[in-house]
Each structure stands twice: as C-alpha cells, then as structure tokens.
Amino acid sequence: MASLVSSSASVIALSLVTLSFFQGAVAGVTFTFTNRCGGTVWPGVLANSGSSPLQTTGFALGAGETRSLTAPAGWSGRFWARTGCAFDASGKGSCATGDCGSGEVECHGEGAAPPATLAEFTLGGSGGKDYYDVSLVDGYNLPMVVEAAAPGCPVTGCLVDLNEQCPAELRAGQGQARACRSACEAFGSPEYCCSGQFGNPDTCRPSVYSQVFKAACPRSYSYAYDDATSTFTCTGTDYSITFCPPRAGTPSR
C-alpha cells in the first residue's frame, strides 16, 4: 500500500513538473515598452491577420514609464508610438503623428498613419525563430530601439533624430507633429513605392531618399526590399522596445 501511495505521489509530482514546463513553453513572449521621450507617447498595437489581439491595442505611456504586454507563441504584429495626442476624459481624440484613425486611445485593429517608426515581430513558437525589425518604410516620427533579452541576439532600431536630417521635400508637420515622410508617401511614384513594374527586388532599388534613412539608421528597414541588413532573429526570449532611447552610439551587437 505504501508503495502504491509513493508511486502515485511520484506520478503527480511528475505531472506537475510537466504541466509547469508546458505552461512555461506556451506562455509566449513579453514585450516591455519604455518611454524615454520628454513627454507622453501613446503606443499603438496591431496584430497581423490570423494573430489574436493582445491585452490592449493602444495606451498612454508617460515619460519614464514602462509597461509590458504578453503575446502568444506564433503571434505576429507591429508596435509604434503616437505623439502629440489629445484625448478627453472618455478617451476620445486623435494624435499628431502615428494616428490610427480610431478616434480613441485604443486602436481597435487599425494601423499607424504614416509617417511612423514601426517595430515589427513574427514570433516563432515551439522553439522556432522569432523575426524582428524596425522599419522606416512608412517614414519616421521618433527614435526607437528593440533589444532581445537573450544574450547574443542583435539590437536593432534607429537612435538618430531623423527629423533633424529629413530632406525638405519629405518633412511633415511642426513641433509635436513633426515627422519625416517616406519618398513613397511624398511622391507616390512606383519606383519609390516598389509597386507596378518596380514590385520586385530586382527592379526596386534603394533611392537617394532611402539611402539617407539607411546612412543614419543602418539596421533599420529603409525601403521595401531592405531585408538583408534589416531583419534579425532570436529564439525563445522576451523583447524590450524603447522610445527615444539615449543615443549612446550605433547598436553594436
């Protein structure tokens, strides 16, 4: 009888360990957002088609504040920061840059109006690789850096204030509404938008404008087919996304 009880206890203990491991394996990835800007920003969250929405689709993040969200394994989507927002007590309003058009703090499945700096993720799940990047393809509104918690995984992003270097013909807005448009948004030409006959990597090449972005932020996407030097991978880790990070030089790892 004692042997049977001991055996049952062992099975239960093993089951609890297995359950704990399984729960940890499927818990997903934690994204931690930190605001190092001088004032409040309003991060937006958009899940790609086929991925479930996260706990929120938009929120306020005061200067110096941090907030975390958890995404399930296999999730894909993007994050960005809205600036110059004005919302009333009921949460109704709009933003000067990165506005998602919902008329609310929550974006409810709407993406950022360009120009906006984007952090994009495709999580692997089940031990597969995560893919991540910071994109300036839709223009730029503020500096952003993405860091993986796992050692050895690359840091990516744009530490430079591109609004200071933005060519005159790409500039948009002033003050809190200041941003730098992409050449595609500014001119709408197929060669800048990588559309029509320029809709493949052989015909759509870097432009003088995308090269300005690339020179300033060499690890960020500067145009649609900038994959080779702009997409990074890591496995089984969490990520931090910092808006307006201190500029300590180009990310080195």
Q: Is residue 196 part of a domain?
A: yes
Q: Is the pLDDT of residue 248 over 50?
A: no
At CA 240, angle to CA 238 and CA 241, rounded to 5? 140
Q: Is residue 225 part of a domain?
A: yes
Q: Is residue 17 part of a domain?
A: no
Q: Which tokens go with 163?
A: 């609004």
Write down the pLDDT at residue 2: 47
Q: Is the pLDDT of residue 229 over 70?
A: yes
Write down the pLDDT at residue 27: 62
Pairing of strands 29-35, 239-243: parallel
The mean per-residue pLDDT over the stretch 87-103 comes to 95
- Quick: pLDDT tens for 166-178: 999 999 998 878 9
Q: Is residue 193 part of a domain?
A: yes
CA 169: distance to chain centroid? 26
Question: Residue 6: which pLDDT band, with cuts at 50, 70 and 90?
Answer: very low
Q: Is residue 11 part of a domain?
A: no
Q: Is residue 108 part of a domain?
A: yes
- Quick: pLDDT tens for 108-156: 999 999 999 999 999 997 678 999 999 999 999 999 999 999 999 999 9
Q: What is the CATH number of the domain that holds 234?
A: 2.60.110.10
The mean per-residue pLDDT over the stretch 213-236 comes to 94
Write down the pLDDT at residue 224: 93
The mean per-residue pLDDT over the stretch 203-210 comes to 96
Write down the pLDDT at residue 113: 97
In terms of phi and psi (left: phi > 0; alpha: psi -120 to 50; beta: otherwise), the region of 244 is left
Q: Which tokens go with 201?
A: 């990597």
Question: Residue 68: which pLDDT band, with cuts at 50, 70 and 90?
Answer: very high
The mean per-residue pLDDT over the stretch 233-252 comes to 80
Containing domain of residue 214, as a range?
Answer: 27-243
Q: Is the pLDDT of residue 243 over 70?
A: yes
Beta carbons within 10 angstroms of residue 1's beta carbon: 5
Query: What is the reported pTM?
Result: 0.86
Write down the pLDDT at residue 196: 96
Q: Is the pLDDT of residue 45 over 60?
A: yes
Q: Is the pLDDT of residue 223 over 70?
A: yes
Q: What are the beta bridge partners of residue 135?
A: 118, 221
The mean per-residue pLDDT over the stretch 28-45 comes to 96
Q: Is the pLDDT of residue 24 over 60?
A: no
Q: What are the beta bridge partners of residue 46?
A: 78
Q: Is residue 250 part of a domain?
A: no
* Most confident range, picked from 10-19, 96-105, 240-249: 96-105
The domain tally of the chain equals 1
Find all residues with CB under 8 Å of 25, minimum gap 6, and list them: 73, 126
The mean per-residue pLDDT over the stretch 154-164 comes to 95
Question: Residue 252: which pLDDT band, with cuts at 50, 70 and 90?
Answer: very low
Q: Is residue 140 part of a domain?
A: yes
